[in-house]
Structure 1
């Protein structure tokens, strides 16, 4: 084959190679643009906020604190890691990172919306540029600020439960630095004293949320007081009847100007007291117990000599001294 015969083939080969190089160049440019977009998105203002939220959901307090760069206020650190932190995030629903908005001094504000307990909330994260990636992509970090706190109180107790963890409550109060967004639920469980669950939601940095636990006597305690009162009153009525006393050493008595026939006095309790326990001056007191006693007897009118049936109800009140020592309750009726 001569050189003149080979020229068209060579020309076609060069053309094909040029086309292939052109296609490769276009693909390289597209890939570069995609890579640049990916790096830009990964290093955008919302990136540190997403990393922080991921750490919260994992219950990784150390990683979350590092991403937030926060100052930790004084108080108990019980809510800042592990199960209590995961419990907090279990009640944070519909977590959405919004579009960053320009703020002062070149910073950006990243809103995070969420729901908790059926209510809508927004947490704001201020971010700032702290460097660059690949020499020209901005690197963002959350602006340092103090963590919020949950200020918890509980009536007449030095302990409570917060997000499933047993916590100390010296003098009935404690301060808990917490992450945000977060939901914090406190309660107190006990045989004789308990507090229903109360919740607080932390939404912003450097704020305080308040959680007040209202400790009350349990039905087990009021039932024990009422049982003790019933036992005391029944014994009192029985003794007064056996001794034929109108003024026994009991909360109830009766005075009459008529003569009572011997052997006819019978006392009984017609209305037993309902117990109520209230806090007072750091202690627990039993409210005065009120009830009614019923007296039957045969009486003789001293002027006419006529005998008749006596049947009266006598209202009464008395108190119950209650001593609380750990899980032991001592009840002592007090008359007069």
Structure 2
């Protein structure tokens, strides 16, 4: 086969064209990858790890320092819940910084309120000679502190966490929302929520634990029983001054066998936190004495009907599923 001059020129033209196209493609790849599109990738990967609850992957991408504290919210359900309420999550166009880094904005809304977080990314070498690899600039993770009255436990983002002596500090990823609450048969605290939008910040949740109606009812039941039993024993023993919060002292001679005590007003139970424990405020009620008596001044025999206010205190002790009430009476 003989190559003519024309054929050679055509082949050379084709080869030159192919080389130009290849060069243009390489230049385009380099420009695009070293620009906004490439800089978004580590941010997208990090946000995806948060959505998946993959704390190990997220930490590897963000390369952050982890503050001291309870790591319960850095992985799994607690992490996944931190971003699941975000809406309109958008990774914006990166902005080049003077030091060669890129600032990547992320916008999102939470219950209609707009929020934003910025991530710094930097070049981390190349792949396949001309692909720029980007990575997040290291920072310190934020923290969420949970304070809960009289409890060593709380719930954050659906995860039960320890709060020794009512206090717990938790390193968390950003951006995210963290909702804390406490609930048990006898005590509960309404949910409180905080949001973190950037690194090296801190938020605090204060949970005001209160006694539940179930606890107040359980204590009231035991208080009622104590008073009823006390009145019944006083009637059985025919005592005007029984070992009870109530008693009668008067200038009359009571007919034996006629004494009858009854509770006409039971105490209202109020339970409050005090000095790291739960206390019942002083209890007050009224007891009625019915009897037959002879007035020592007049000698008149007649009914004795008197209502006596009384007061006393109680202490509470708790097991896992039971409260015990112990009366404290000054005679």
The TM-score bracket by the shorter chain reads 0.7 to 0.9
Q: 2:325 aligns with which of 311, 328, 331?
A: 331
Q: In the alignment, what sits opposite 2:44?
A: 50
CA distance in 1: counterparts of 2:24 and 2:122, whole angstroms: 30
Q: 1:252 to 1:34 in 2, by over 3 A?
A: same
Q: Where do 1:1-336 residues align within 5 Å?
A: 39=33, 43-103=37-97, 105-116=99-110, 119-132=113-126, 139-306=133-300, 309-336=303-330
Task: Report the Cα offset of residue 181 of structure 1.
Answer: 0.9
Q: In the alignment, what sits opposite 1:11?
A: none
Unaligned runs of 5+ in 2: 1-10
> Contact between 1:251 and 1:318, CA under 8 Å: does it hold in 2?
yes
Q: In the alignment, what sits opposite 1:3?
A: none
CA distance in 1: counterparts of 2:111 and 2:285, whole angstroms: 44
CA distance in 1: counterparts of 2:102 and 2:305, whole angstroms: 85
> Alignment partner of 1:71: what SS?
coil
CA distance in 2: counterparts of 1:150 and 1:233, whole angstroms: 47
Q: 1:264 to 1:102 in 2, by over 3 A?
A: farther
CA distance in 1: counterparts of 2:298 and 2:176, whole angstroms: 83
CA distance in 2: counterparts of 1:203 and 1:167, whole angstroms: 22
Task: Report the Cα offset of residue 78 of structure 1.
Answer: 1.4
CA distance in 2: counterparts of 1:141 and 1:28, whole angstroms: 28
Q: CA RMSD in A?
A: 3.6
TM normalised by structure 1 equals 0.80
CA distance in 1: counterparts of 2:105 and 2:145, whole angstroms: 25
Q: 1:205 to 1:331 in 2, by over 3 A?
A: same
Q: 1:312 to 1:92 in 2, by over 3 A?
A: farther
Q: 1:117 to 1:172 in 2, by over 3 A?
A: farther
> Alignment partner of 2:238: what SS?
coil
- The count of corresponding residues between Structure 1 and Structure 2 is 323
Deviations 1:23-44 (A, max 9, x none): 9999989977876676456744
> Alignment partner of 1:144: what SS?
coil
Q: In the alignment, what sits opposite 1:9?
A: none
CA distance in 1: counterparts of 2:153 and 2:267, whole angstroms: 31
211-220 vs 256-265, greater mean Cα deviation = 256-265
> Alignment partner of 1:105: what SS?
coil
